Homo-oligomer: A and B are copies of this chain.
Amino acid sequence: MKTLKVGMLGAGTVGSQIARLLLDNKADLASRAGAELELVKVAVKNIKTKRNSIASTLLTDDATSVVNDPDIDLIIEVMGGISPAKELILAALKNGKSVVTANKALLAKDGATLYEAAAKANVDLYYEAAVAGAIPILRPLRESLVGDHVIRIMGIVNGTTNYILTKMDEEGTAFKDALKQAQDLGFAEADPTADVEGIDAADKAAILAGLAFHSRVTDKDVYREGISKITAADVKVAKAMEMVIKLLAITELTDAGEISVRVHPALISRNHPLAAVRESFNAVFVEAKSAGQMMFYGRGAGGEPTASAVLGDLVAVARHRVSGGVGPKESDYASLSIAAIGATKTRYLIRLNVADKPGVLESVAHVFAAHSVSIQTVRQSGAGDKAELIVMTHHSSESALSATVKDLSKLSAVSDVASVLRVEGAI
């Protein structure tokens, strides 16, 4: 049996699991790939650090030597970051090596350059692990649904924020307490910005949007709001309305045939399949014209789940080396443009602190009507100083809604616009 030599860039949480599994599952992987997969070189920052699953003789701190090694057939990139990961991957591709990467940030920023280099060298670029960890979602999009038309994707693609929102929903915890708890348990990093502000989810949204709509979509195209402004009061109102707040990565086709791509917290009905996705689990809900509604659920992060996705890709690219062919190339023929956030249409839930006196509802309703924002339901809770109006709208554009909120805040009867939240999912 042929042997394919594998070089790896990075040996952190994911890389060390990959190295271990390559050894533990050697015989199975060989049977499935049609070739032995031998890890021969691993680039790390510090070769002195002891790594249980990797023989020290494989370690090097010269990453360039890995991607330029003529004996190496396949490269796994799990170092993360933009540079030098990008230069190293491009060098590997140029040298005729197929590359498997989990680098969502790089793919979201400049996937096109990587794809072009892969196509030029006629080698593979696979990256299932970049979105939703162990959940097979990119291969289904790239291959299974390629005979269909995706209409919309809504994903819970960040485990940290889903953990925080689950605690807030189930235990009534305030955001900062839930964040602290997530940090203590290792679900959130010391600097939680990338997770909490939706930066990580936005990278994944860009990748999903590009694949779904056969167009180039980058991280800069993604409208983004995080969850740090979600309050216990928002969560309580959601519960009372049999809804739950989730941080969603959404991409959909607008009526004008443009791509809307955005990450923000949103209310969804407790009956929606995404509502049941708890703690650090991820799920991607896909609507396609012929296939209808689908959901893909599983572990979105963690060393071993992510390693599973990387190894699935590694077997695929190895099989291509053995029996010929390459996987799907970039599919950007549709070249759709990105919709402005103002043109995005969704429903909204607006909470207003109001004076509890006759005529308030009339003046509030007048502002909505003036901006052609149609109201679905209104309910008042509390009385006197604590009177609150909760308004749910029908579908409306972001720009009309913003203008409405601006005018509402000027009303003398409205003391405060307490919150504005989007409502997603079927009515």
Residue positions of A touching B, CB distance < 8 A: 17, 21, 25, 28-29, 31-32, 128, 134-136, 139-140, 143-149, 214, 273, 276, 288, 290-299, 302, 304-305, 307-316, 319-320, 323-326, 328, 331, 333-334
- Residue of A32, A128, A149 ringed by the most chain B CB atoms within 10 A: A32
A128 to B334, CA, bound (A): 26
14 of the cross-chain contacts (CB-CB < 8 Å) are: A28-B334, A31-B331, A32-B146, A32-B331, A134-B288, A134-B292, A134-B294, A139-B143, A148-B308, A291-B308, A292-B302, A292-B305, A294-B299, A325-B326
Instruction: Please state if B148 and A312 are interface contacts (CB–CB under 8 Å).
Output: yes
How far is it, in angstroms, between the C-alpha of A207 and the C-alpha of B295 when the chains are bound?
Answer: 21
Whether B139 and A333, one on each chain, are in contact in the complex, defined by CB atoms closer than 8 angstroms, is no
Q: Is the CB of B288 within 8 A of A293?
A: no
CA distance A148 to B136 in the complex (A): 12
Residues of B within 8 A of A311 (CB): 146-148, 290
Given A144-B312, A325-B324, A299 contacting B305 (CB threshold 8 A): no
By the criterion CB–CB under 8 Å, are B305 and A290 in contact?
Answer: yes
Residues of B within 8 A of A29 (CB): 147
Q: How many copies, total?
A: 2
Which are the 8 A-B pairs with shortest beta-carbon distances? A325-B325, A147-B311, A136-B144, A294-B298, A134-B291, A136-B140, A290-B308, A291-B308
Q: Who on chain B is nearest to A328 by CB?
A: B319
Q: Which residues of B contact A135 (CB under 8 A)?
A: 291, 294
Report chain B residues within 8 Å CB of A315: 143, 146-147
**Contact partner of A295 among B128, B292, B293, B298, CB < 8 A?**
B298
- Nearest-neighbour CB distance to chain B for A151, whole angstroms, equals 12
Compute how far the CA of A15 lies from the CA of B216 in the bound complex, rounded to whole angstroms.
33
Neighbouring B residues of A21 by C-beta, 8 Å? 147, 290
Name the residue of chain B whose CB is nearest to the CB of A331. Answer: B32
Complex Cα spacing A240 to B370, Å:
52
Alpha-carbon gap, A205 to B290, bound state (A): 25
Question: For residue A136, which residues in chain B have a CB less than 8 angstroms away from its CB?
Answer: 136, 139-140, 143-145, 294
Q: Which of A276, A296, A314 has the most CB of B within 10 A?
A: A296
Question: What CA separation (Å) do A325 and B318 show in the bound complex?
Answer: 12
Bound form: Cα–Cα A51–B319 in Å? 42
What residue of chain B has the Cβ atom nearest to residue A145's Cβ?
A: B312
A268 CB to closest chain B CB (Å) equals 14
A9 to chain B, nearest CB (A): 18
Please state if B298 and A297 are interface contacts (CB–CB under 8 Å).
no
Contact of A273 with B297 in the complex, beta carbons under 8 Å: yes
A308 CA to B151 CA, complexed, in Å: 14
Contacts of A28 in B (CB 8 A): 149, 214, 334
Contact partner, A304, options B276, B290, B312, B324, Cβ 8 Å? B290
